[in-house]
Structure 1
């Protein structure tokens, strides 16, 4: 990888929590940071805090159309992209909700829009190689029921969250195979356990700094050059849920994702 101060890095969900702290950390090291969020006021506040060479991109990932517009804007502004950090995500302990596109909301925001964004930015990443894709996933993963991916029956918010995080990991493994030899790597991680963010209602067990350290490592550490398709729990490599290593399940998810994101 290039030195951090020569990199352009897009971080989704960067107006608060882990994304904002990571953006500030990378900007302080001289990176050009592309800050994504869905609220212009919060975006402006984030840019003021982050400083450095940071710029703002607004898009609601609950809309595939806005996700496409985000990719188009990034491509237009930045012919080189060294890293994409798919960090944006939501939890859901309430009733089932749907996106603007009619998909279960957690699945779309946490996985499907990131899938689309990555697909649209892949040509730029490959042209910029070496480059990295990092998915901020979770150790909490649950196998996908392909007969009811959108959980229309017996909805459970925790199940929705866990399957969206497994979907990210399945995509990570697919990307590693697809991008082998291109100089672009893809990895996923559980940054830290119960960091103090808006998604955590329990007593924090880790600091935000621990999550930033683990995520930044996957973005910039030269020791990880060429490492791809892996899942990390903090700083340690870990084993993802078994379905992530099932080629048939990944093929089903890939076909579904392509179908759902085709205009």
Structure 2
């Protein structure tokens, strides 16, 4: 939907794609709730968007820690009683040097931020999304996907940053497919996308060292999932840019998705 009542939450809004989306949507009527990890960068973002058409509010949380993910959902609920769009954009790239990192909860870091945080936040905010129906959850995933070994979900063996990143994005897509199965698409849709390839963002420069697509390409593709009228009621899909695509077969496997869901629920303390 569009209009003065539209309320959109974007995670990871202080840089890269999230920042570009925030700038684009700030020029339209509505309400933007912008998340970031760094309070100073959020303050800079508020100053940058001071003359925006949209009403802009900010929330702070480190999404690597589940307690802060839950606190973020509470912050959002304190600001609004409904959401029309949740954009799960915040993420961690492959990093440099293939150094395995753990979250404050002892979870492999890329799994924690790229999969478990959006998994939990989506479930925690479902009451607000249902009150904003028809509402949309948009997962910013990646074409960089690799099958997940549930027996070694935290990659204690054979770790590499690229592998951790690719598995976390496959998990994000698979969980999105599973969540869509449990929701009425007339109320809340769930779709994932690869917005563009190696856009000029800090994460890309650190992890890959070169760029391919323009940031505007990714912004346009993500905005389509946010507000395109032709996607009303369309749920449980994966897109590459503006075209529907196929995720890896594992993401389509109901048994894998159910087991991943169970593990994710246990690690995050969230349930439908």
TM-score by length of 2: 0.93
SS in 1 for 2:8: strand
Report the counterpart of residue 258 of structure 1 in structure 2: 265
- Tell me if structure 1 keeps the 8 A contact 2:64–2:109: yes
The counterpart of 2:169, out of the listed 165, 169, 173, is 165
Matched, 1:25 2:27: no
Matched, 1:98 2:105: no
Give per-residue Cα distances to partners, 1:157-188, cap 9 Å, x unaligned: 11100011011111111121111255210100
Matches within 5 A, 1:1-263: 1=1, 3-51=2-50, 52=52, 53-92=55-94, 93=96, 94-201=98-205, 202-262=209-269
Cα 1:181/1:205, change in 2 over 3 Å: closer
Q: Distance in 2 between matches of 1:203 and 1:257?
A: 33
- Tell me if structure 2 keeps the 8 A contact 1:4–1:220: no
Q: CA RMSD of the aligned region, Å?
A: 1.2
Give per-residue Cα distances to partners, 1:74-128, cap 9 Å, x unaligned: 0121001000000000113330000010000010011101111111001110121
Q: Distance in 2 between matches of 1:20 and 1:154?
A: 34
Cα 1:220/1:4, change in 2 over 3 Å: farther
Larger mean Cα displacement after TM superposition, 44-53 or 138-147: 44-53
- Tell me if structure 1 keeps the 8 A contact 2:63–2:117: yes
Unpaired stretches in structure 1, ≥5 consecutive residues: none
Q: Distance in 1 between matches of 2:106 and 2:80?
A: 31
- Tell me if structure 1 keeps the 8 A contact 2:37–2:62: yes
- Tell me if structure 1 keeps the 8 A contact 2:185–2:235: no
Q: Distance in 1 between matches of 2:151 and 2:179?
A: 24
Larger mean Cα displacement after TM superposition, 130-139 or 48-57: 48-57
| Number of positions where the alignment pairs a residue of Structure 1 with one of Structure 2 | 262
Q: Distance in 2 between matches of 1:261 and 1:120?
A: 10
4+ residue runs of structure 1 moved beyond 2 angstroms? none
Unpaired stretches in structure 2, ≥5 consecutive residues: none
